C-alpha cells in the first residue's frame, strides 16, 4: 500500500484506488493516479503480497488503506479490485463515503472463467503466447492502438485465478454507500452483462457505460477520469437508478 502526497488543499474526499489483475495501482492506473492526486489525497492498495489469496484477504487490504484516511474515503476499484471493493463496502458500510466499481462483476461470467483457465494453462506451459492472448481479450478493437502487453508473472496468475472465483451476489444487499458502476461496452472478460447485474443489485447505484474493453483504464482513461472525478466529488448528484450518459443497460 502506498500513500501518495496530497498536492493541494481540498475539501474533496480522499480516494482509495484498488487495482485489478496486476495487483499494482501504478500499473492499472497510470493516468488516473496522477490526475486524481491533483485534487484528492490518494491511497493505493497493493495485492502483490503472497498472503493475498481469498476475497477476504483482498477486502482486508482495502481496509488497511481506508484506515489511513482521516474521514471515510471514496473507494474506486477496477476489475478484480472493483469486486473486492464491493465486498468491503458490504462488510464495512460506514467506512467509505462512496463506491465506484469499474469493469467489475457480481458473479464470474463463463468468459472470465475461460479466460482464467486459458491463462493458467499457458502459464503452466510457460508459453510465450500468453501475453498476446491476454491482450486480445483485455482490449477492444477500437482501443487496440492503446493496447499494452499485460504483465505475466506469478502475481497476475494468482489474481486472475482468484478473480474467476469471486462472487459477491450474496453481499450486494449490504452495500449502503452511494455507488457508481462503470460498465464497458466491449468487455469480453468481466462482460457488460455482469456490470449491469451488479448495478441492478445495489440499491443506491448509478450506471455509466464507456465504449471500451476490459482494459478501460488504458483505452479511455480521460473519459473514465471525468466520470469518476464527478462522482467521487458529488456522489449523489444523480439519483439511485440513474443511467449516466447516452448508453443504456
CATH class of 11-233: alpha beta
- pLDDT, residue 209, reads 97
pTM comes to 0.93
Q: Cα 77–81–86 angle (5° rounding)?
A: 70
Report the chain (249 residues): mean pLDDT per 10 consecutive residues. Answer: 45 93 96 95 94 96 97 98 98 97 98 98 95 97 94 96 98 97 98 98 98 98 96 96 70
Contacts of 108 by beta carbon, 8 Å cutoff, 6+ apart? 163, 164, 165, 166, 167
CB 13 within 8 A of CB 73: yes
Contact (CB, 8 A) for 114 and 196 = no
Kindly report the backbone phi and psi dihedral angles of residue 118, in degrees, each rounded to the nearest multiple of 5, phi listed first. -65, -40
C-alpha cell at 65: 488503506
Element (H, E) at 78: strand 74-78
Q: What's the residue count for the chain? A: 249
- DSSP-derived letter for residue 195 is H
Amino acid at each position: 500500500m502506498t500513500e501518495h502526497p496530497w498536492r493541494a488543499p481540498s475539501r474533496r474526499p480522499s480516494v482509495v484506488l484498488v487495482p485489478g489483475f496486476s495487483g499494482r495501482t501504478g500499473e492499472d492506473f497510470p493516468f488516473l493516479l496522477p490526475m486524481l492526486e491533483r485534487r484528492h489525497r490518494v491511497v493505493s492498495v497493493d495485492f502483490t503480497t503472497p498472503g493475498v489469496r481469498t476475497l477476504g484477504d483482498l477486502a482486508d487490504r482495502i481496509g488497511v488503506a481506508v484506515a489511513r484516511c482521516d474521514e471515510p474515503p471514496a473507494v474506486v476499484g477496477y476489475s478484480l479490485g472493483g469486486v473486492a471493493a464491493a465486498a468491503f463496502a458490504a462488510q464495512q458500510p460506514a467506512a467509505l463515503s462512496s463506491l465506484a466499481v469499474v469493469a467489475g462483476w457480481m458473479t464470474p461470467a463463463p468468459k472470465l472463467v475461460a479466460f482464467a483457465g486459458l491463462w493458467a494453462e499457458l502459464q503452466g506451459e510457460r508459453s510465450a503466447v500468453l501475453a498476446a492472448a491476454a491482450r486480445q481479450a483485455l482490449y477492444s478493437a477500437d482501443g487496440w492502438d492503446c493496447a499494452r502487453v499485460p504483465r505475466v508473472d506469478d502475481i497476475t496468475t494468482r489474481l486472475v485465478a482468484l478473480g474467476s472465483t469471486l462472487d459477491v451476489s450474496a453481499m450486494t444487499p449490504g452495500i449502503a454507500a452511494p455507488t457508481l458502476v462503470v460498465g464497458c461496452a466491449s468487455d469480453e472478460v468481466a462482460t457488460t452483462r455482469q456490470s449491469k447485474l451488479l448495478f441492478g443489485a445495489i440499491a443506491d447505484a448509478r450506471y455509466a457505460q464507456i465504449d471500451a474493453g476490459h482494459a478501460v483504464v488504458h483505452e479511455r482513461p480521460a473519459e473514465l477520469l471525468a466520470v469518476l472525478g464527478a462522482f467521487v466529488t458529488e456522489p449523489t448528484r444523480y439519483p439511485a437508478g440513474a443511467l449516466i450518459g447516452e448508453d443504456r443497460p
